[in-house]
């Protein structure tokens, strides 16, 4: 019975020992994915910002500028790209809507971002674009991959339509979460004018005035290392309209401000990340290590049962019960072994 129990325990030990790496290296890449139909909205604000008045082309200080970023998963387009590429793909149709203090439009920039559902690497299909202009992304955007590493990544900038390194600057604590802090500085760069501006102004209108748009920013992200989701983001952002061919003319500040996430959206994002990170930790830590420890315990129990189930054998040099070394038995009903002679020769001279 002990031997049968030992075999059962051994089989269970092999099962859990095999299941441990399978969860981490096989199941995790196939189960941990960004949902294709995800919808998310984030509101950012810049208080006491500078904003251009397009009616007079003069900058003015305003109490607040609001930026609303929405991410909407395009499920139908994702299915088409997945069938064409053979990969599990997510397509995000995003919109960055900037409004002035009175809620009036400042600019509107749509974007399509196509990426691998697990690795977050760009997939060059499905009409990826920024403001209607086709682009070919290099690196990540909006989200880091699962299990973020302490290293630099390449990050795509929608204004310049190019990628550059975003640098890991250390581990910090944010709202009780241990996060990785990343920072990127984009130097002054000539960038396209948004196609949608107030008062019916178009990029051609700006060009006809002899102006061109320049932009720089210092971008900061606090990223949860488990899910790869930013729990906070800030930018020190500046835009100028510069006179073409006239560097001596003073540029017009189109926008200048410190952009931060609105506190209620920070709280909602942190709460969402807290719940999602537990699912990732189950597949990458809790279950694999737990199954590995359970397998080791079951193996130990199986070996102990096997050792106890083996019959004990007497050592070769011990006496058999009831028998002496020369084969005479002392058991009841058997003749006793004669006592040895202790004297010398008998009187008769016989030996």
Assess whether pLDDT exceeds 80 at residue 31: yes
Q: Which of 8, 100, 93 is nearest to 305 (CA)?
A: 8
| pLDDT value of position 336 | 52
CB atoms within 10 A of CB 169: 13
Q: Return the top range by mean pLDDT from 8-17, 80-89, 285-294.
A: 80-89
One domain, residues 15 and 76: no
| pLDDT value of position 119 | 92
325 band by pLDDT with thresholds 50, 70 and 90: very low
One domain, residues 73 and 188: yes
Query: Is residue 315 a part of any domain in this protein?
Result: no
Query: Is residue 91 a part of any domain in this protein?
Result: yes
| pLDDT value of position 315 | 56
Number of domains in the chain: 2
One domain, residues 167 and 294: no
Q: Give the DSSP per-residue string, 157-188.
A: ETTTTEEEEEEEEEEEEETTEEEEEEEEEEEE
Number of H helices, E strands in the chain: 6, 12
337 band by pLDDT with thresholds 50, 70 and 90: low
One domain, residues 214 and 246: yes
One domain, residues 241 and 297: no
One domain, residues 105 and 18: no
Assess whether pLDDT exceeds 50 at residue 351: no
Query: Is residue 346 a part of any domain in this protein?
Result: no
The secondary structure of residue 199, as a DSSP letter, is G
Euclidean distance between CA atoms 114 and 120, whole angstroms = 9
Per residue in 62-75, pLDDT tens?
A: 999 999 999 999 99
One domain, residues 205 and 291: no
Q: Which of 220, 216, 260, 279 is nearest to 242 (CA)?
A: 216
Per residue in 261-282, pLDDT tens?
A: 999 999 999 999 998 888 888 8
One domain, residues 197 and 118: yes
Q: Helices 2-22 and 287-309, interaxial angle, to 10°?
A: 160
Assess whether pLDDT exceeds 80 at residue 88: yes
Give the mean pLDDT of the chain.
87
Q: Give the DSSP per-residue string, 223-266.
A: E-TTT--EEEEEEEEEEEEEETT-TTSPPEEEEEEEEEE-HHHH
One domain, residues 19 and 101: no
Strand boundaries in the chain, DSSP class E: 39-53, 58-73, 89-99, 105-116, 129-130, 133-134, 153-157, 162-174, 177-191, 211-223, 230-243, 252-261
| pLDDT value of position 262 | 97
Euclidean distance between CA atoms 291 and 17, whole angstroms = 6
Query: Is residue 350 a part of any domain in this protein?
Result: no
Please list the helix, strand and coil fractions of the chain in percent, rounded to the nearest 5, in that order.
30, 40, 35
Q: What is the mean pLDDT of residues 184-197?
A: 97
Euclidean distance between CA atoms 81 and 83, whole angstroms = 5
58 band by pLDDT with thresholds 50, 70 and 90: very high
Query: Is residue 288 a part of any domain in this protein?
Result: yes
Task: Calculate what percentage of the chain has a pLDDT beyond 70.
Answer: 87
Cβ atoms of 244 and 275 within 8 Å: the answer is: no
CB atoms within 10 A of CB 125: 16
Euclidean distance between CA atoms 235 and 217, whole angstroms = 6
Helix (H) or strand (E) holding 16: helix 2-22
Domain encompassing residue 26: 1-31+281-310
Query: Is residue 345 a part of any domain in this protein?
Result: no
Cβ atoms of 88 and 73 within 8 Å: the answer is: no
Residue 304 Cα to chain centre, angstroms: 41
Query: Is residue 292 a part of any domain in this protein?
Result: yes
One domain, residues 286 and 298: yes
Q: What global pTM score does this model have? A: 0.81
Query: Is residue 151 a part of any domain in this protein?
Result: yes
44 contact partners, CB below 8 Å, separation of at least 6: 66, 67, 68, 69, 233, 259, 260, 261, 262
One domain, residues 175 and 242: yes
One domain, residues 253 and 301: no
Per residue in 119-148, pLDDT tens?
A: 999 999 989 999 999 999 999 999 999 999
Per residue in 291-310, pLDDT tens?
A: 888 878 877 877 887 777 76
Assess whether pLDDT exceeds 60 at residue 96: yes
């Amino acid at each position: 019975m002990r031997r049968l129990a030992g075999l059962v325990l051994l089989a269970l030990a092999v099962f859990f020992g095999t299941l441990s790496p399978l969860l981490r290296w096989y199941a995790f890449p196939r189960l941990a994915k960004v949902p294709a139909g995800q919808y998310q909205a984030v509101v950012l604000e810049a208080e006491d910002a500078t904003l251009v008045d397009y009616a007079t082309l003069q900058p003015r200080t305003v109490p607040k500028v609001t930026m609303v970023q929405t991410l909407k998963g395009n499920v139908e387009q994702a299915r088409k790209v997945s069938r064409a590429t053979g990969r599990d793909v997510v397509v995000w149709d995003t919109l960055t809507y900037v409004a002035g203090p009175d809620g009036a439009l400042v600019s509107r920039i749509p974007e399509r971002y196509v990426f691998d559902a697990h690795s977050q690497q760009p997939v060059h299909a499905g009409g990826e674009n920024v403001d209607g202009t086709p682009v070919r992304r290099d690196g990540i955007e909006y989200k880091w991959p699962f299990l973020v590493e302490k290293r630099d990544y390449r990050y795509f900038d929608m204004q310049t339509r190019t990628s550059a390194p975003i640098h890991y600057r250390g581990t910090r604590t944010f709202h009780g979460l241990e996060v990785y802090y990343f920072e990127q500085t984009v130097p002054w760069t000539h960038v396209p004018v948004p196609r949608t501006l107030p008062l019916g102004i178009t990029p051609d209108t700006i060009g006809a005035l002899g102006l061109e748009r320049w932009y720089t920013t210092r971008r900061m992200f606090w990223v949860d290392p488990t899910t790869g989701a930013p729990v906070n983001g800030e930018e020190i952002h500046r835009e100028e309209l510069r006179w073409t061919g006239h560097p001596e003319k003073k540029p017009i500040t189109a926008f200048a401000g410190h952009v931060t996430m609105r506190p209620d959206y920070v709280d909602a994002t942190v709460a969402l990340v807290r719940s999602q990170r537990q699912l990732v930790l189950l597949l990458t830590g809790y279950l694999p290590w737990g199954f590995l420890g359970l397998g080791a315990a079951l193996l130990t129990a199986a070996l102990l049962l096997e050792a106890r189930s083996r019959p004990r054998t007497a050592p070769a040099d011990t006496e058999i019960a009831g028998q002496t070394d020369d084969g005479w038995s002392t058991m009841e009903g058997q003749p006793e072994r004669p006592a040895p002679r202790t004297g010398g020769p008998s009187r008769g001279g016989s030996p």
